[in-house]
Amino acid sequence: MLLSDLYLWLSQSRLRTSKINRLLDKLSPQRLWDSFADEGKYLLDEKTFNALKRTRNADYIDRVKEYLETNHIRYVTRADPVYPTALAQSEVDPPPVLYYKGDLAVTRKPCLAVVGTRRASQYGKYFAQNEVSELARSFTIVSGLATGIDGYAHSAALGVGGDTVAVLGSGLFNPSPVSNLGLFDDICRKGLVLSEYPPDAHATEYTFPERNRIISGLCKGVLVVEARERSGSLITARCALEQGRDVFAVPGDIDKQRSDGANNLLKQGAVPVTCADDIVRYYGMRAPEKRAPQTLALDFAQEQVLAVLKDGEKSFDCLVETCGMTVPELNTALSTLMIYGLVREKVKNLYCISK
């Protein structure tokens, strides 16, 4: 089987990502698949064995792929060249599969997470709407689609034509809250919505904290705008620290509970932020300026792939055979060409020249 299909099998088993990654530390996906033919019951505990066995069927995996395509849900696995490199780090506990709607390419820009309380004050709302609008000129804004600061941050990015990513704590068929369904649809069309959970999965008390590591993992840093102690925003900040990301916080009123979390982060060494320019300067950046198109210098492998695709769309396996490359070499060439905007993945593992 294709490695990408094996990762899809692991995802469809509904085992938690941390459990899957502990298994993969010991066995490759192919070895795990093959183990069922002989010593699987001896390598795995009964619950894990039964969960994996339930979806260990090539026909079932094909039906899942058809189901995703029918419902216009795309997916990327850890075997694919466009899997976000920031999430591939072990500190992030990378999901075997990310399901998404929208443009995955927005994750290749510098990303900044903006999180905060669901019960934002006028001050928090002002910051999220005005300063995040400025940040969106330099960063892809990442958040969790919640009411309050998350929603304001997503809307601010879209309002200036910027890029934004919403990371769900559920499957793509069950976004929440209901009040943000319009925003969800907007982000699907103009940005990116993604989840590590299969589309029909519902949110639980565990999935929201779990997804916070994805929010921070995609980003260079996390900005906390108003947060109570013991809030989900502080879980995201803690994930950021564990992953080696930067943590920023907006100072708040000392007599308001909704500011306690952000103010305590500042006491612990978070970078204080009072305007968008504080973060832009921290990274030595400035708002991007329009530049004249540059001629791209392609290497031999990239030129070879382009030459083959000029004859029409080709599957990944066909490109490997026609170009005479190894899988890692082709992954590298395709990834670079897609970043340059010269090649796109028309459907899963089918590539063509970008129009």
**pLDDT at res. 232:** 84
Residue 339 pLDDT greater than 80, yes or no: no
Q: Is residue 179 part of a domain?
A: yes
| Spatial distance between the Cα atoms of 244 and 242, rounded to a whole number of angstroms | 6
Q: Is residue 13 part of a domain?
A: yes
Within-domain flag for 26 = yes
Which of 205-212's residues contact partners 24+ apart within 8 Å by CB, and which partners?
206/16, 207/169, 207/170, 208/144, 208/169, 208/232, 209/235, 210/16, 210/17, 210/169, 211/144, 211/167, 211/168, 211/169, 212/144, 212/236, 212/239
Same domain, 325 and 187: no
Distance from the Cα of residue 238 to its chain's centroid:
18
List the CATH number of the domain containing 345. Answer: 1.10.10.10
Per-residue model confidence (pLDDT) at position 294: 41
> Do residues 66 and 147 both lie within one domain?
no
Choose the final residue of a domain: 44, 70, 96. Answer: 70
Nearest Cα to Cα of residue 348 among 11, 91, 151, 104: 104
Last residue of a domain, which of 46, 70, 94?
70
- Is 99 a domain residue? no
Same domain, 274 and 314: no
Instruction: Let me know whether 239 and 321 are in one domain.
Output: no
Total domain count, the chain = 3
Confidence of residue 98 (pLDDT cuts 50, 70, 90): very high
Contact 309, 337 (CB under 8 A): no
> Is the same domain home to 114 and 167?
yes
**0.85 cut: is pTM over it?**
no
**Can you give the pLDDT at residue 265?**
92
Q: Are residues 141 and 211 in the same domain?
A: yes
Instruction: Provide the 3-class DSSP secondary structure of residue 158.
Output: helix
- Checking if the pLDDT of 327 tops 50, the result is yes
Confidence tier at 153 by pLDDT (50, 70, 90): very high
Asked whether residue 322 is domain-assigned, the answer is yes
Specify whether the CB–CB gap between 201 and 170 falls below 8 A. yes
Residues 171 and 262 in one domain: yes
Residue range(s) defining the domain that contains residue 335: 300-353
167 bridge partner residues: 194
Query: Does some domain include residue 290?
Result: no
Pair 240, 153 in one domain: yes
What is the C-alpha separation between 235 and 170, in angstroms, rounded? 17
**155 and 194 share a domain?**
yes
Tell me, yes or no, whether 197 and 344 share the same domain.
no
pLDDT score, position 297: 65
Which residue do the tokens 């540059």 mark? 294
Instruction: Read off the pLDDT band of 272 (50, 70, 90).
Output: very high
Write 332-340 long-range contacts (CB < 8 A, 24+): 332/81, 332/301, 333/299, 333/301, 333/302, 333/304, 333/305, 334/81, 334/305, 335/81, 335/82, 336/302, 337/298, 337/302, 337/305, 337/306, 338/81, 338/82, 338/105, 339/105, 339/108, 340/296
